[in-house]
Amino acid sequence: MTKMTLGAHPYFLGFDQLERMIEQAAKSGTEGYPPFNIEQVSDRAYRISLAVAGFSDEDLSITIEDRKLVVRGRQPKTDADRVFLHRGIAGRQFMKSFVLADGVEVKGAKTENGLLHIDLERSEPDSVVQTIEITKG
């Protein structure tokens, strides 16, 4: 028995890009640092919250690259004079990516109490009905 992929199913035409996006999302979510939450705020709004304690706003960057939301954190600068007896707050650099569906837009981002909040909103799709004329061949 062969495995049928989404793009190969006869009723799903043109969904090969969706299948690639699903594969990308599965590969990108393997590392657990930094920890994050995704919550549904309303029917069309979402919030991603990442734990970024120890990072300043200048150490963080958020970009959208080919429908992928990419959050990067540079290693924060530390004072050479500081001597840690125990260092439990992680401060290593990271890159976390999330695949965005068509129609999902980033509405804003802010840091608050050691968390980076990224607000997303899905636009309401227009209902389109199209009539195709049949011509005599």
* Within a domain: 101: yes
CB atoms within 10 A of CB 101: 10
What CATH number is attached to the domain comprising 36?
2.60.40.790
pLDDT tens digit sequence for 94-119? 999 998 988 899 999 999 999 999 99
Query: With contact defined as beta carbons under 8 Å apart, do 37 and 48 qualify?
Result: yes
* Within a domain: 22: no
Task: List strand residue ranges (DSSP E) for the chain, in order.
Answer: 36-40, 45-51, 60-65, 68-73, 94-99, 104-112, 115-122
* Within a domain: 16: no
Measure the CA–CA gap between 62 and 73, rounded to whole angstroms: 9
The total domain count for the chain is 1
- For the chain, how far is it from start to end, CA to CA, in angstroms? 40
* Within a domain: 132: no
* Within a domain: 40: yes
Measure the CA–CA gap between 37 and 9, rounded to whole angstroms: 34
* Within a domain: 15: no
State yes or no: pLDDT of 13 exceeds 80.
no
* Within a domain: 105: yes
* Within a domain: 18: no
pLDDT tens digit sequence for 15-71? 676 677 677 666 655 568 899 999 999 999 999 999 998 899 999 999 998 889 999
Cβ-proximal residues to 26 (8 Å cutoff; 6+ apart), any chain = none
Q: What are 53-58's contacts with CB under 8 Å, separation 24+?
A: 53/89, 53/114, 54/89, 54/90, 54/91, 54/114, 55/91, 55/116, 57/111
What does residue 16 show for φ and ψ, rounded to 5 degrees?
-65, -30
pTM of the model: 0.72
pLDDT tens digit sequence for 29-45? 556 889 999 999 999 99
Q: How confident is the model at residue 134 (pLDDT cuts 50, 70, 90)?
A: very high
DSSP state of 85: S
User: What is the span of the domain harbouring residue 60?
Assistant: 32-78+85-122
In the chain, count of helices (H) and strands (E)? 1, 7
